[in-house]
Structure 1
Amino acid sequence: MRGTSLRLVAHGHTAALRRARFGGADDGLDEGGLRAALAQAGAGADRSWHLGAYDACLSSPAVAARQTADAFGLLPTIETALADCDYGGWSGRSLEEVAESQPQALHDWLSAPDRAPHGGESVVDVRDRVGGWLDARHRTGGRVVAVTHPLVIRVAVVHALGLPVATYRQVDVEPLAVVRLTSQGARWHLRLGG
């Protein structure tokens, strides 16, 4: 079996991310997010993955993910499995707005990963979608860079390590974070640094 090296890159800051709003696919990087992405691309200690030392470069369909890939000099193929959570009727609304108008629904969604009372996806749904994609990458092998969303990376780590879905809350992924998963066989390994 061919080994797999997967770099998951969280897109840069967006206005929705900074304001704790449930994002949408059309939310691009804000000015600070773009500057930070360009700075990180130019200052990385290991720039080989920016410069083409990979077999595939993928991106969420979201504008912010594509802009982050562009800032890093990557030419990604769109991968719908890497899309952010579908927040349904909550898209574009702040956490406070939803808490005020639908407190029980928000509580349920935050406390039970299988709940999606807002008309979108549950975290379990996102984990299943992303987990299926990860499992396929594992079988395919190769070196892949994928630009996506913090939540997608959180559930990818949980799936890769075989953790209960609810532990996604304990995985923090900052904008522009790079998480590396590798495998030489039956299981994924989380690799820190480089």
Structure 2
Amino acid sequence: MSPTSLRLVAHGHTTALRRARFGATTDGLDEGGLRAALAQARTESGRRGHLRVDDACLSGPEAAATQTADALGLRPTVEASLAGCDYGDWTGRSFEEIAAEQPQALHEWLSAPDSAPHGGESVATVRERVGRWLDGQRTRGQRLIAVAHPLVLRIAVVHALDLPIATYRQLDVEPLAIVRLTSQGARWQLRLSAPRGG
């Protein structure tokens, strides 16, 4: 069986990310996020075998995810399973606002991955969704790129390595970060590699 190579790419900066707001699917890249994605595309073009424009590419439905893929020169197909968390009533609001107005609800959400006091999805629900998708990719035997919200990458790594769900809070994924997972079919391995050349 050919190995599956999956590169998870965090979408670029949005206003919501910069201002610590609970984002929405309509949030696109901000000016700096677009510039950074275009600059990364130039860098990636010089790396053999990293992000190739002929690799199959999927993206979350968020505008920022599809815009990042486009800026990287990829041709994404939207995959609903890669959507970021639905924050329900908190969408568009800042962390500070929620902390001031609903401190107990925020504490519950931060301490219990299966809670959803905002009326949207819990982190555990996002893990189930992303995990099902990720499990379905292990035996594809191809190179695949997936562009999604940084939270989706954190949850995907937790699922791929079979870590406790609360571990996602200990992972920091910056916009435009690339996480590489490989599989021979049975399980995922996290692969860390240095840039080639230069």
TM-score, normalised to structure 1's length? 0.96
Residue 21 of structure 2: aligned partner: 21
Residues in 1 aligned to 2:50 and 2:25: alpha-carbon distance in whole angstroms: 25
Residues in 2 aligned to 1:145 and 1:13: alpha-carbon distance in whole angstroms: 19
Structure 1 counterpart SS, 2:145: strand
Residue 119 of structure 1: aligned partner: 119
Deviations 1:92-119, CA, capped at 9 Å, x for gaps: 0000111111111100000111111110
Alignment of 1:97-116 (within 5 A): 97-116=97-116
Residue 31 of structure 2: aligned partner: 31
Residue 10 of structure 1: aligned partner: 10
Q: CA deviation at 1:140?
A: 2.4
Residue 155 of structure 2: aligned partner: 155
User: Any unmatched runs of 5+ in structure 2?
Assistant: none
Residue 53 of structure 2: aligned partner: 52
Structure 2 counterpart SS, 1:116: coil
Q: CA deviation at 1:186?
A: 1.2
Residues in 2 aligned to 1:97 and 1:61: alpha-carbon distance in whole angstroms: 26
Q: CA deviation at 1:190?
A: 0.4
Residues in 2 aligned to 1:171 and 1:39: alpha-carbon distance in whole angstroms: 25
Structure 2 counterpart SS, 1:181: strand
Q: CA deviation at 1:11?
A: 0.4
State percent identity of aligned pairs: 70
Q: CA deviation at 1:53?
A: 4.3
Structure 1 counterpart SS, 2:5: strand
User: Any unmatched runs of 5+ in structure 1?
Assistant: none
Residues in 1 aligned to 2:102 and 2:32: alpha-carbon distance in whole angstroms: 32
Deviations 1:16-56, CA, capped at 9 Å, x for gaps: 000000000000000000000000110124254544342x2
Residues in 2 aligned to 1:119 and 1:52: alpha-carbon distance in whole angstroms: 38
TM-score, normalised to structure 2's length? 0.94
Residue 79 of structure 2: aligned partner: 79
Residues in 1 aligned to 2:48 and 2:150: alpha-carbon distance in whole angstroms: 21
Structure 1 counterpart SS, 2:134: helix
Residues in 2 aligned to 1:174 and 1:52: alpha-carbon distance in whole angstroms: 22
| Deviating 4+ runs (over 4 angstroms) | none
Kindly report the root-mean-square deviation, in angstroms, between the aligned alpha carbons of the 2 structures. Answer: 1.2
Amino acid at match of 2:147: V
Q: CA deviation at 1:141?
A: 2.8
Residues in 2 aligned to 1:7 and 1:148: alpha-carbon distance in whole angstroms: 11
